[in-house]
Structure 1
Amino acid sequence: MKRLLAPIWRAIRGPLQWRILWLAHSKYMIGVTGVVRDDAGRVLVLRHRMWPAERQWGLPTGYAVAGEDFAQTVVREVREETGLDVKPGRLVHLKSGYRLRVEVAYEARLVGDATFSIDSFEILEARWVTPDSLPHGMQDSHRQLITGSTPD
């Protein structure tokens, strides 16, 4: 069977091969988080409207759109949620194993003005805080990203 399938697979190169692969494999949402710092070393934290009331504080987070570079997802999400411009840095976290989601996190630096323009649909509040003064109700995994420990 393998000897029969290999030449057929090689013969259908291109779009048909990609369509078969797409149909045969799992599809995932990519959740992207930004650990955004300013020049003073403070971290941007947001109080998210849609998150559970006891854990509303966290980092800027959103889902990548098809074809988007994950580092650019951080730039887009921070701009949409806060109006701030950031420059993405290094990848600090990548985790799979969830049913339909992969988590990705990047460091990012504030560039330009630090004046907030909050998206009130998603975000209730934005603050710059030091890593040792994180607000009560902070997501544990985001706290770990900020302190440099490995999120579960």
Structure 2
Amino acid sequence: MGEHKRGNVWLAVAGLVVNSAGEWLVVKKKYGGLKGKWSIPAGFVEENETVDQAVIREVLEETGISCQVQGILGIRSGVIKDKISDNMIIFSLKMNDDGVQTIITQEDELYEATFKSPEELKNDEKTSVLLRYYMEMQENQLTSMNEDINPGDQFGYTSYKLFY
């Protein structure tokens, strides 16, 4: 997955899966800006798929959980080092099979994949900025654009917006 393959416009997807107990499906990546942090399953859209197909594939690949799209929670769009347009569509997903599935962690990319309650995630310093934001949004049901979020200097964003 070289950066050159994507060119200077990136399109990624992420999927928020909530089980019947109200727990969120989260992963801890082994690489990148989210290394060692809890985040939702995510990845790049491939050239032969739509964004909704991509999010279902990514969640399945990373966690072994099969889902269907319920809707879009939001879009985040940023520019890295004044050069790369980095865009992500964040979906709300529903588990297939009435939520009775076993997690299979993709060990090449992830330290762990598990279900955690929003309370556990709020109290864990390893929870990502974006994940925290969505926990607040779900409680308050906000709708607007925020340009005041900084996910961390390690990403190198020169522009960062969250549409929610």
Settle same-fold status: TM greater than 0.5: yes
1:44 and 1:34 map into 2 onto residues whose CA distance is: 9
Asked if 1:103 is matched to 2:88, the reply is: yes
CA distance in 2, matches of 1:139, 1:35: 13
Query: CA 1:120–1:38 in structure 2 vs 1: closer, same or farther (change >3 Å)?
Result: same
Q: CA deviation at 1:85?
A: 0.5
1:96 match: secondary structure: strand
* 1:140 aligns to 2:129 (yes or no): yes
Native 8 Å contact 1:33 1:62 kept in 2 = yes
Distance 1:105 1:130 in 2: 19
The 8 Å contact of residues 39 and 110 in structure 1, kept in 2 or not, is answered as: no
Q: 2:103–2:114: 8 Å Cα contact kept in structure 1?
A: no
Identify the structure with the greater helix proportion: 1
In structure 2, the partner of 1:120 is 107
Q: What's 1:39 paired with? A: 20
Determine the structure 1 residue equivalent to 2:60: 79
Kept in 2: contact 1:79–1:85 (CA 8 A) = yes
Deviations, residues 123-146 of structure 1 (Å, cap 9, x unaligned): 111111111210331110122123
- Larger proportion of strand: 2
SS at match of 1:100: strand
* 1:79 alignment partner, SS class: helix
Segments of 5+ residues of structure 2 without an aligned counterpart are 1-6, 150-164
Once the two structures are TM-superposed, the CA of residue 97 in structure 1 deviates from its matched residue by 4.2
The corresponding residue for 2:154 is: none
User: Which structure's CA Rg is the greater one?
Assistant: 1
Corresponding residue SS for 2:74: strand
**For the Cα contact (< 8 Å) 1:35–1:146, is it kept in 2?**
no
- Number of residue-to-residue matches in the alignment: 127
* One-letter identity of the residue aligned with 1:128: F
SS in structure 2 at match of 1:124: strand
The 1:146/1:49 distance shift into structure 2, 3 A limit, reads: same
Give the one of 56, 71, 96 matched to 2:37: 56
Please report the RMSD computed on the Cα atoms of aligned residues, expressed in angstroms.
2.2
Cα distance in 2 between the residues matched to 1:147 and 1:43: 14
TM-score for both structures, normalised by structure 1? 0.73
